[in-house]
Structures are given as C-alpha cells and as structure tokens.
C-alpha cells in the first residue's frame, strides 16, 4: 500500500536555526497537509496545500513557517527561526481529494527537538 | 497549550472483548468524521470514516456510530486484539464551510490485556 514518507525521523536543532522537514506524499494525491503534535497533546492542523498554493492555514502557521513543493514528489515545511516551543512531532499528510472516501493519509512524522 | 498527556482517557479491555471508544465533537456543522489509530512512534492511521448523512458505518471488525443530535461519535472494535492497543483519535471536517482541515479530538488510549 502506498505510504507518505517523511525525513528525517528526528531533527535536533539549536534555537534560532532554520529547519526543513521533508515529505514525499502518495504519488497520485493532490492535496497536502502539515500537522503537528506537541508531546502528549492532540494533533493540530498547520496548513493545507493544493495546486501549488496554500489553501488554508491555522493561527500556528505564522510568518516563521513556509511550505513548498519544489518538484513533483517532495513537499517541505520550513521553519525559519526555530523557537523552543516548536519542539513537536510534525506530520505530513496527503489525500486524493477532499470529499468523503478520500481520507488524509499520514506519514510517521519527524520529531523536531529544539535546544 | 494545555497538556493532556497525563490525563488521556484510558480504556482497558480483555483480549477478545468488544471495545467502545467515545468522542464528543465540537462543531455541529461538521459533515465528515474519521477515526484514526496512532501507535507509539507512528503517525495517525486511518481506520474508518462516516459522513454526516449516515448514522452507522461498518468496516472489518470496526463500526462507527454517529449521533448528530448530541454531537457524539463512537468507535466499536469487535473481538479486540493486542494489536489494537494504541491511542484512538476522532477527527472532524467542516467541508461545507470550504475547510478541509482535520480537527482532532484529544484521544483515548486503548490497552488490550492478553
């Protein structure tokens, strides 16, 4: 079964540094998403992306965050100047569509640790 | 934000018994609901979904029930197995508002006793 893959599995970075989290969505999917999960808390929506532009974003997704689909297979999340509170699991998801029977499929996440 | 890690509802069931996991959702305008399973160190895994024009949907060993009157969703797992041990999240989408972001609930930890 096709999977969403994310790299790296764990990223450790100094506060203030830039990080790029990478995702390869399922190949025939058109909608892409980033979510985050702070340790022990529920999964929170960050941003959705379709047709090479952001469709929706949450309040969490401020100017420090950006997304990009640099080629036909990768989808990246960049955090420009990391803060301690950015430490979390970041999940990428993709879906073929947005209706019923087209659920979002998640990768196993990148654990981001900010020191 | 509020930490719910130490207060995650936990359900312990004997292997072979049926499990019922409940979820109260927040938005009466939500029209699509999904149950996800999250094992330790893994991402959420899709289990089953239901649209708001239905009140029941069955999959393999799982059944989702939707009660829109009280904004309640439940997941029933038949003949629970050790591999079912995980945290289960319900999620909702309000597509009628043009939004397709998943809003997740807080999760329930299911522990299966062999």
pLDDT tens profile B36-64: 999 988 999 999 999 999 999 999 999 99
Closest CA to B55 of B71, B67, B63: B67
Q: Which strands make up the sheet holding A65-68, listed edge to edge?
A: A5-7, A19-24, A75-79, A65-68
B101·A100 Cβ contact <8 A = no
Q: What percent of chain A has pLDDT over 70?
A: 98
* pLDDT at B6 exceeding the cut of 50: no
Q: What is the DSSP letter of B52?
A: T
Instruction: Output the pLDDT for position B3.
Output: 31
Tally of CB atoms within 10 A around A30: 15
Closest CA to B104 of A65, A41, A34, A29: A41
Beta strands at A5-7 and A53-57: parallel, antiparallel or unpaired: unpaired
Q: Mean of the pLDDT values across residues A93-105?
A: 86
Q: Tell which wins on pLDDT, B9 or A47.
A: A47
The 10s digit of each residue's pLDDT in A45-79 is 999 999 999 999 999 999 999 999 988 889 999 99
Q: Give the closest of A42, A98, A105 to B46, CB-based.
A: A105
**Residue B64 pairs with which residues in a beta bridge?**
B57, B75
Q: What gap in Å lies between CA A71 and CA B47, rounded to an integer?
A: 30
The size of the A-B interface in CB pairs under 8 A is 70
Residues of A near B (Cβ–Cβ under 8 Å) read 4, 6, 31, 33, 35, 38-45, 48, 55-56, 58, 91, 93, 98-101, 103-109
B95·A99 Cβ contact <8 A = yes
For residue A99, which residues of chain B lie inside 8 Å, CB to CB?
32, 95
B34·A103 Cβ contact <8 A = yes
A56·B101 Cβ contact <8 A = yes
Phi/psi of residue A38, nearest 5 degrees: -70, 145
């Amino acid at each position: 079964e096709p999977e969403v893959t994310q790299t790296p599995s764990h990223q450790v970075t100094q506060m203030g540094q830039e990080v790029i989290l990478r995702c390869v969505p399922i190949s025939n999917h058109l909608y892409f998403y980033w979510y985050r999960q702070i340790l022990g808390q529920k999964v929170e929506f960050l941003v959705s992306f379709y047709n090479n532009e952001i469709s929706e974003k949450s309040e969490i997704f401020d100017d420090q965050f950006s997304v990009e689909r640099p080629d036909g297979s990768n989808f990246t999340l960049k955090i420009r100047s990391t803060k301690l509170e950015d430490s979390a699991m970041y999940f990428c998801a993709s879906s073929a569509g947005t209706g019923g029977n087209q659920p979002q499929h998640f990768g196993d996440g990148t654990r981001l640790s900010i020191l | 934000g509020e930490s719910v890690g130490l207060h995650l509802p936990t359900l312990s069931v004997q292997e072979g018994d049926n499990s019922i996991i409940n979820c109260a959702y927040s938005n009466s305008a939500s029209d699509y609901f999904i149950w996800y399973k999250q094992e330790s160190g893994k991402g959420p895994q899709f289990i089953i979904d239901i649209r708001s024009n239905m009140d029941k949907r069955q999959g393999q060993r799982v059944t989702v029930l939707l009660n829109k009157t009280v904004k309640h969703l439940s997941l029933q797992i038949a003949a629970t197995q050790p591999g079912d041990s995980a945290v289960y999240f319900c999620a909702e989408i309000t597509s009628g508002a043009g939004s397709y972001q998943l809003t997740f609930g807080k999760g329930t930890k299911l522990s299966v006793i062999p």
